[in-house]
Each structure stands twice: as C-alpha cells, then as structure tokens.
Amino acid sequence: MKFISVELENFRPYQGTQKIIFAQTPETNVTVLWGTNGGGKTTLLNAFTWALYEVLSNDVENHDQLINTTVWNNAPEGTPLTASVTIEFEHGGHIYIAKRSVYASKRGVFQPRPKPELQLWRGAKDGNLEQVLNPSGRLDQMLPERLSRFFFVNGERIEALAKHEGGDDVREAVKTLLGLEAMERGVMHLPKVAQNLRRGMKAEDASQQKLNDIRGQLEDTERSIQEQQRRRNAAEKERRHFDSEIKALNLKMTQLAEAKELQQNRYRLEDQLKRTRTTRQEQEEERAKLVGTSGFLAFLPALPGKILAACEELRERGELPAPLKRAFIDDLLERGECICGTPLAEGSSHRDALKHWRARAGLAEVEAAWNQLRGTVESIDDQRAQMQDTLRGFDERIAQAQEEERRLESDIDEIGKKFKRLPSEEVVKTEERLEAAKLARDEKVAASGAASAEIQRLEGDKASLRSQFDKLEVKDARSLRIRDRIMAVEEAGAALAQILEILSQGVRRRLDVRIQELYRLVSLKSYEPELTPDFALELWDLSGSERIPAPKSTGENILLSLAFVGSLIGEAREAQERGRTFVQGIGGDFPVVMDAVFGNLDDDYRKAVADFLPRLASQVVILTSKAQAGEVVEQEVRPRIGKQYVITTHTTKTDVSGATETLTLNGNTYPYQVIGSDRTGAELTEVRN
C-alpha cells in the first residue's frame, strides 16, 4: 500500500477542500507536515483511520462534531452540509480511492450524530473507476484495523508497546499479520461444535440414560475448564501488571544515587538466580525422563540371574543351542539321501532315526530370539548400575542448584534489608512498595498455577468421559456418522492449537531478529532488545559482565517501539515477496504515518529517531511541530524529504503572546499561526522546493 493523496472537505478544523500529495519515490520517501500543538496534526492522523475504519482516537474531542464548526455556524438553518475524507492509494498494482462522508442539515447549534457513508473505487484496466462492493471488508483485508495502530502511530502513546501491558497488542499484531484470527476462532469454537454434535447422538435403550449422563458431565467439565481458563487469564493479566510495576520500581532504584550500586548488585544476583532455577528445572526434567524410560531397571535385581540360570540348564541338556537345525534335516528328508550317501527310503530305519532327530532340532528364529534375550539380560546389571550413577549425578546437581538458589535468595533478601537501613526516605518507601508488589505478583502466580493445575485435572476427567462416551453402544447409521464427526472435530481442534502456537512463535523469532537489527542502527547505548516468548518487548544492558534489565527512558521506549513497528513492516513486505502469507495473512509494503513522535525526547534521541524514520518504511509521513524537531528533522531528514506542508493555525483570539507567526522552510516564509483571524481552523500550504 502506498498513499498517493488525501483530501479533506470541511473535516473538523479543515475548512473547504484541502489536499495533500505524498512523496512516493524510494530516494525521497518522506512527507513532513509542520503544525503547532493543537493545530490539526492529530486530526490529520485520525483522518486516515476515520476514512478507512470509521475510528477516531480517544484524544480527539467531540467525536460527533465532524463538520467544520465555522462552516456549520455560518450556514443558514436547513442548509445541507457535508464533511469527507478521500484517500487515494495504490495496492497490489491497482489504484483505489476510498471516501468516507457524513451529511447533515443545519438544525440549531449542535451537529446531529453522524451516519458516515463509505465508498471504495478501484481503477479498471480501461482507466475508469469501478465501485468495490463491501468496501469495509475489502479495506480490512488490505490493512486490518487491528494492525492500523502500528502504521498510524501517535508518538505520545507508542512507547506503551515497550511496557509489559503492550504484550497483548504485540501478540495480536503477530496473529493478524499471519492471518490467524480465523484459526484462533476455530480453536475457541470447535469444542462447542463437538458439544452440539454429541447432543444429536442416540444409543440403545439401555445405554441412552448413561449417554445422557456422560454428555451432561462432559458439558459441566468443559464449562469448568472455561471458567478456570478465565481465572488463569485474569491472574496472568494482573501478574503482568505487577511485573511492570516491579520493573519500574527496580529501575527507579537505579536512578537514586544512594541505591544505585545495591540495585545493580541485586540485578546481578536475580539474573544468577533465574539462570540457576532454569538449570535446576532442566536437570529435574532430565531426571524425570530417565526415571520414565529406565526406572524399571531398579525393580529387576533377581530376574537376570534367574534367566541366565535357565539358559545354563538348557545348554547343559543340549537343547539350546540345538545340535542340529530343523531346516537342515528337512532338506535331507526331501532329497532322500543322507550326507554320508545312505538312502533314506520311506519306512527305513535310517529315515525314522533322522525323523527322531528332527523332533530335537531347533528353529533358527527361536534360537536367535533366545540368544538376543540372553545378551540383553547379561547387560541389565550394567544398565542398572549406569542408571543409578546417572540418577546420583542428577540428584547431586539438583541439590547443588537448590543450595545455590537458597544462597542467592538470602543475598537478595539481605540487599532488601540494606535498602531499608539507608537514610533516604524515598529509597525505603520504594523498597516497601517493591516488596508489596512482589507479594501481590507471587499471589497471582500462585493463582495462575492453581488454575493451570485444575485445568490439567479437568482435562484428564474430560478425556476419561470422552473415552466412556466413545465406547457406548450406538448402532444407527446417523449416530455412527456423528461419532466420526466428533472425532474429526476434536482432532482438528488439537491440530489447530498446535499450528497456531508454532506459527506465532515462528514469526515472533523472525521479528525478534529484525528488532535487534533495527535497534542497533540507532541505539546510543550498549543495549540489546528482545521480543520474549510471551511477546513482551524487553531491553537488556550488556555493558557489564552480567545481562541486566536496562533502565529504559522515554527515548529507549520509543526507539524500541519504533523498531517493532519497523520489524512488522519488514515482515509484511517479506511475506508478500516470498509468498509466506497464511490463510488471510497480511503481505505487502505499507506506509507509516507518525504524529508527535519527537515529543519529550532530548536532542540526541531526536537525532537518532530522525535518522531512523526514513528507513522504517518505504513511505513515511511525519507530523511534527517546529518546536519539537525543527532543526533535527531539517538536518537529518532533508535528503529524504520529497514533500512538505505547513499547517497554518487560525485563531480569532487576539490576546496571544509569544506565538510563532511564521515558519521559514527552503528559504521561503509561510504563515504558521494567524492571530486575530476571521476564523478558527487549519489551512494546508505546500512548501516550495
């Protein structure tokens, strides 16, 4: 998708018809719009989302007041009025025009609640425009609303992506990018399909009541599982909230001079504790696997001796190995002649003697199996001894890890006590808040674990009930067909859940690599980003010997969030190039429109962001004020700027002091704020090259 132009007609502060034509070439892919705070930049950002999705952000006041107030106030009663936003763009080799409009007749001071109308046209091969049916659905296929927040970015809110609560947004973006919403809905709804199918099954008279009872128990169990899942999800959401609070409090400690050194030491110990716990858990899992596969050897101390004694007895009796093989004797009898040349005529004493030996002869297969068993039995003692040695090794390493955990926990607790003994009241209060947050977090972890354990138990009950249900006697063809369908639905649900997780983690790993590459381009510090398996954006400080959480400032949060946006755009582009879209996955080259991205940044980070933005996407639209990023944008982005516009703010107020009334760009001066104007609103003026 590439924007060609956007046209606003009487849309909020933009009176009359005003149009922006965007830069589109690879070398000059940036369009900059300069405007004062409150002068119409956020309205422009919202013009895109309103035209495409009928969505206005929460920081836009009076959502119902879409028609320009000056036009509305000056119009006579009963005058039909309109406001619209028209976006012309290219997508998939076609030109599209999307127009959303509202119409109203003036009746009093207040505008009625609008009923927007959306139209979408596509350029035909003959050069004419053809109307697209279901325009909302078609636009959502091109760029889903769920992804729009990453392409139409409010810089003052984007840093939330880098916080723990942003993990849900990131996870949703990954699923939308892959087109996995349908699969996700399938995983959620297939159990209900199986439940409905079961209600249609009939059994023999004697089994019908049992079938009804099991079906009722199954439905109760499934409802209980859903309730426990809701409890677990709620506990996990609160746990993430407390994790975010704990992280913020820990970072605050690093910013307090009295606590910085202690906090750095606590970070180091906590990282060691985390790695020690991981090692211990891995050892416990390996020990469990060993017990599961070889634990039976511990219960066979006498059996090998008994088997070997039986082997020796058979050998002494000459039965194993047998002196002759049955196949050899059968060949002699069939040929009718012994190896010594004696004829073996039917009824002769020589033939009868050979038949007697045949009864004592051994089968090669039996002897091979016996020899294999004997060889295996002889190694059982060695296997058991090896297993016991391995188990002792696991036990020793686990015990060492547990001892190390206790030592580290004690050292961490001691640091907490030292914090409380410091003379700084702020440090003490912060540590108390930190302890309270950790206790609350641990409670949520316990609640989540209890819900997970209950879910596991209920899933076992469910599996048992399903097994009983499947074994009930049903003979009519319809019920047999329903049973087959239930099995297919349940298998499909399990398979879809696995595919969903595999695909989500696959794209997460690719995004993680992209984020690291992009972040390194602009980072001012030795920090390393990570998109974790639970889709949280983390930042690590690698400057010391231990990896510790980085004290993220607003600048780092914005850079990290922008790196994620850039990785998302890159993944969508590569998905189209390599044909990697899945189901209704999103592929293509998408633009990014950013409002107030330079706000609250110092000069170094403004420079880094300005250098980074042109590389973020093939088309970038920057909405900023002169005060926020004037010199930095002009210096760093100038070679990539293809189009510039000034948003002139008009106000009827006259008692305004200190206002910047003009703006000089490319050697030309443009009105920036018009004080004492005859109207209130915004006006677009293209900057001359």
Q: What is the pLDDT of residues 223-237, one digit of tens each?
A: 899 899 999 989 988
CATH number reported for the structural domain that contains residue 33 in this entry: 3.40.50.300
Contact 416, 431 (CB under 8 A): yes
Tens of pLDDT, residues 6-56: 999 999 999 999 999 999 898 899 999 999 888 888 899 999 999 999 998
Domain boundary among 407, 434, 457: 407
Residue 279 lies inside a defined structural domain of this protein: no
In this structure, how many other beta carbons lie within 10 angstroms of the beta carbon of residue 173?
24
Residues 646 and 575 reside in one and the same domain: no
Residues 138 and 10 reside in one and the same domain: yes
Residues 526 and 558 reside in one and the same domain: yes
Residue 351 lies inside a defined structural domain of this protein: yes
- What size, in residues, is the chain? 689
Residues 120 and 13 reside in one and the same domain: yes
Residue 267 lies inside a defined structural domain of this protein: no
Residue 148 lies inside a defined structural domain of this protein: no
Q: Quick one: residue 545, left, alpha or beta (phi over 0 = left, psi -120 to 50 = alpha)?
A: alpha
Confidence of residue 369 (pLDDT cuts 50, 70, 90): low
Domain boundary among 556, 572, 587: 587
CATH number reported for the structural domain that contains residue 528 in this entry: 1.20.1050
Instruction: Extract the tokens encoding 111.
Output: 């505008």
Most confident of 88-97, 138-147, 362-371: 88-97
Query: Which of these, 99, 104, 116, 176, lies nearest to 144 by C-alpha position?
Result: 176
Residues 301 and 393 reside in one and the same domain: yes
Mean pLDDT along residues 190-214: 73
Residue 88 lies inside a defined structural domain of this protein: yes
- Expressed as residue numbers, the domain containing 491 is 157-190+485-587
Residue 613 lies inside a defined structural domain of this protein: yes
Residues 133 and 7 reside in one and the same domain: yes
How far apart CA 158 and CA 613 sit, in angstroms, is: 14
Residue labelled with tokens 């002068």: 39
Residue 328 is predicted with a pLDDT of 64
How far apart CA 259 and CA 282 sit, in angstroms, is: 34
Residues 515 and 566 reside in one and the same domain: yes
Residues 35 and 117 reside in one and the same domain: yes
Residue 321 lies inside a defined structural domain of this protein: yes
Residues 596 and 579 reside in one and the same domain: no
Residues 35 and 119 reside in one and the same domain: yes
Q: Is the pLDDT of residue 678 over 80?
A: yes
Residues 647 and 607 reside in one and the same domain: yes
Q: What is the mean pLDDT of the chain?
A: 82
Tens of pLDDT, residues 462-483: 888 888 877 776 667 777 777 7
Q: Is the pLDDT of residue 121 over 90?
A: yes
Which residues are registered as beta bridge partners of 122? Answer: 96, 130
Instruction: Extract the tokens encoding 96.
Output: 């599209």
Domain boundary among 538, 569, 587: 587
How far apart CA 99 and CA 86 sit, in angstroms, is: 4
Phi, psi of 655 (to 5 degrees): -90, 55
Residues 594 and 663 reside in one and the same domain: yes
Task: State the total domains in the chain.
Answer: 4
Residue 57 lies inside a defined structural domain of this protein: yes
